[in-house]
Structure 1
């Protein structure tokens, strides 16, 4: 257990991080969630304008690839240069990307815009967590309510994306998913500038050479190769698998482990991960969890449009219970976790995911009343809150304030590898025609993921009450 975390647990701080701080830093984190899920209902309009070329796939995947690569780097930069500074810089990059996307004359420019948006949104969550933890330690207050707000604004809002995207696209066309970023980014920048102190800069100013050394450029480059080769291979699985990427990945993995073991300031401390089994297990659990989540977020809206014949707006509104229940369950899960522990919190979330998968495996497009579909959506919203709170509480409990930004950045990287894995899973389970049979196969896959997660949670030895006490 990290000494700094243990000390924090020993002092048992009272009070909470003020909402003006937690709400400000959480406001920008919704942008990543919205941009990653609104595209599900906008892609039809984008393909209609630019043509159904192979590049359309990269409009979706470009953001995930950029976010997965940049999230750990953003957390590290925040620890070195100041979390608030990097957070605001990310909002600026996101805004530039949104403007480029609005004006994009070709699909290539649109992909470039989505990559910029991915880079910009990668900075929000890890640095928001760093600022929350910093505020909690400076003023001896508890971070758990602030973490719940951050989780609700970034993770639960993920399920709101199809609903909001459907309304925007239905009313204004696909460009609306770009310009909606601008007012949100402006509000977030103003709120963070006003309510979050400029003193969120840890350590002393560093020179360019010191910065490069601290960032471990070699380790970061090898990380990029690992993530890029992993995600490119997953994207190719359903068409023409790029088998040559496997030896590239293995060579990069061997070089990465060897370099990081010897680096003075490693980009990813593999020695610490080997020692910190709770963090390693949490990251593995996050990969499975988000693979299941994104199968829901991508698969169900497509099924509603193709099989039920719904419009983008109707499909988005049908998904609204997932977002509403996910948002509410995040705060419920925060209190539940405080009273009953991480293990029980994750047990509730994984059981709900398992049940939701079984329900999807039994739904029929023609005979199922709309109320049944809404009830299924309600069940699928429960895992969003409980799994996220449980996993993030564990990450928070086993890292120091200096480490948490990088750890959460890695958390986000694993999340978006799961998103690309889900895209590959859906292509396999749905087949060439999106219908009931494909949805049923997807449901059985989600149920299998829930079973694996539930088994792991119940068998885990790294979710003791001591860790939860330390986190609070």
Structure 2
């Protein structure tokens, strides 16, 4: 029997992480996907109140830039100060940002509130994973079921966001996507405090100087400059390209790589990424996957409102099949991963993405009956579960418990960058007002992305059969 199958047999005999632990830490993980996807149906109302300016785009992008920078740092902070402590601190920031958004008098204040929410929501997932892995190692439990719970509560909720957001916005206005955070924050704080006291998970006595050194503040600032300059250039392509940003971007990239190679405690360990090819390939695959993923969740609701004349509630309900199928596919993907390994799991996910893109590009959007649109939406819900379960378990299997928080933070970072890139893709394929032709071009982009991902999965030599860590 191979080592992989022997390890799998042992893992199957091991108890699972109790739901009181995985469920409690998963409660806060729904905040990021909710805030990232509810905005898709709220952005029309926000533009109507504040005016359709370039600042509206940054209402979406600001949250992702904030989370992209914060996620890896949150995992490292959890290792230094304690995963639960950082998790709860993030919840407090979400509450503060939500209140600021409710009271925002201008779009600038709204962008600032979204930054606060982005920083806060970035802390939950990596520290939830650290607590789960820490519990599993101390008690000899297998984390696969807990990872599935996290996946459903995070990525499944992304698909549910437009539906919930549509209902809230239709009934109470766009401000409702901010105040809905407050009861979730309160419930999560109580649940984590009561049930997620899983023992010593990180946390040590460090001075302020040691903390600054460990967090690699220079690396963080360079990464922020790198992400911001990338987004500024990409968002300018469809209007008036800011060409001088290209040499600035290249310079910042060179400085970032050079600094991180020499830093004692790097923000992004570029040397580890070079050594761990499986991790690097997974992050690259995740970037492409989520660029296509968010094209669906930003593009379709806006098209339904602009071209089909639907209200926010109707558009949100039309996206409901994506959520239902996404949650079901996550459960099925977990079983597929356990029985057949990561390659088959990702193959199913990428094939579904390809088929969904072709359907979106081919359907007669304006004249198609609503049932046809619901069927297309359902197909587009399949890739979410399979790709997320495959990639996330693969990252868990190639990192240690000390590294997993930072690695998952990096995983989330590339998701957020993919979300930002999707905004650029939509601007390029569909423009400010998404019509039928723009939706078709977006569908072809998703299909082409599916082809590239499928080829990468089938030809990868760094994937293997890593069921044991699940």
Determine whether 1:468 maps to 2:467. yes
Give the alignment of 1:6-155 within 5 angstroms: 12=11, 14-155=14-155
1:430, 1:442 within 8 Å by CA — same for their partners in 2? yes
Report the Cα offset of residue 203 of structure 1: 5.5
Q: Partners of 2:286 and 2:54 in 1: how far apart?
A: 30
Give the distance between the partners of 2:212 and 2:431, measured in 1 at CA: 46
Q: For the structure 1 residues 80 and 6, does the alpha-carbon distance in structure 2 shift closer, same or farther, using more than 3 Å as the test?
A: farther
SS of aligned partner of 1:361: helix
Whole-angstrom CA distance in 2 between matches of 1:326 and 1:107: 33
Q: Which residue of 1 aligns with 2:360?
A: 360
In 2, Cα distance between equivalents of 1:432 and 1:233: 17
Question: Corresponding residue for 1:422?
Answer: 422
Structure 2 match to 1:275: 275
Q: CA contact under 8 A between 1:131 and 1:200: conserved in structure 2? A: no
CA distance in 1, matches of 2:286, 2:60: 21
Structure 1 residue 265 and structure 2 residue 271: aligned?
Answer: no
Q: What whole-Å deviation, never above 9, does each CA across 1:370-415 have from its counterpart, x for those lacking one?
A: 1111111111000000000000011000011111111111111111
1: CA distance between counterparts of 2:241 and 2:131? 42
CA distance in 1, matches of 2:242, 2:424: 13
Shift of 1:54: 2.5
> Does the Cα contact within 8 Å between 1:71 and 1:410 map onto a contact in 2?
yes
1:78–1:127: 8 Å Cα contact kept in structure 2? yes
CA contact (8 A) 2:135 2:198 kept: no
Q: Which segment is superposed worse, 291-300 or 8-17?
A: 8-17
Are the equivalent residues in 1 in contact too, given 2:325–2:381 (CA < 8 A)? yes
Say whether the 8 Å CA contact 1:55–1:108 is kept in structure 2.
Answer: yes
Give the Å deviation of 1:8.
8.1
Query: 8 Å contact 1:235–1:420 — kept in the other structure?
Result: no
Counterpart CA distance in 1 for 2:357 and 2:177 is 29
Return the TM-score normalized by structure 1.
0.95
Q: 1:416-449 CA deviation, whole Å, 9 max, x = no partner?
A: 1111111111111113552221111111110000
Q: What is the distance in 1 between the residues matched to 2:338 and 2:431?
A: 43
What displacement does 1:195 show?
0.3
- 1: CA distance between counterparts of 2:138 and 2:198? 14
Q: 1:6 to 1:192 in 2, by over 3 A?
A: farther
Q: Distance between the aligned counterparts of 1:336 and 1:121, measured in 2?
A: 30
Tell me if structure 2 keeps the 8 A contact 1:363–1:436: no
What is aligned with 1:191?
191
The verdict on how the C-alpha distance between 1:201 and 1:393 changes in structure 2, with shifts beyond 3 A counting, is: closer
Distance 1:393 1:58 in 2: 32
- Quick one: structure 1 residues 118 and 203, their matched pair in 2 at CA, closer, same or farther if it must change by over 3 Å? closer
Deviation, structure 1 residue 334: 0.7
Shifted more, 384-393 versus 432-441: the winner is 432-441
Trace 1:446-465 onto structure 2 (pairs within 5 A). Answer: 446-465=446-465
With 287-296 and 60-69 compared, the bigger mean Cα shift is at 60-69
- In the alignment, which residue of structure 1 is the partner of 2:227? 227
Q: C-alpha displacement at 1:65, in angstroms?
A: 1.1
Partner of 2:372: 372
The TM-score normalised by the length of structure 2 is 0.96
CA displacement at 1:234 relative to structure 2: 2.1
Equivalent residue, structure 1, for 2:178: 178
Aligned mates of 2:235, 2:467 — CA distance in 1: 38
Q: 1:153 to 1:230 in 2, by over 3 A?
A: same
What residue ranges of structure 1 are gaps of 5+ in the alignment?
Answer: none
Alpha-carbon spacing, 1:137–1:245, altered in 2? closer, same or farther (3 Å): same
In 1, are the aligned partners of 2:283 and 2:414 still within 8 Å (CA)? yes
Give secondary structure in 2 for the equivalent of 1:28.
helix
Q: Which residue of 2 aligns with 1:318?
A: 318
For residue 266 of structure 1, report the CA deviation from its aligned partner: 1.7
Change over 3 Å in CA distance of 1:298–1:96 after alignment to 2: same
> Retained in 2: the 8 A contact 1:63–1:117?
yes
For the Cα contact (< 8 Å) 1:17–1:146, is it kept in 2? Answer: yes
Mark the CA change 1:456 to 1:137 in structure 2 (over 3 Å): closer, same or farther.
same
Alpha-carbon distance in structure 1 between the residues aligned to 2:89 and 2:74: 10
Separation in 2 of the partners of 1:334 and 1:105?
45
Equivalent residues of 1:90, 1:119 under 8 A apart: yes
Tell me the residue number matched to 1:395: 395
Worse overlay, 37-46 or 85-94: 37-46
TM-superposed deviation, 1:463: 1.6
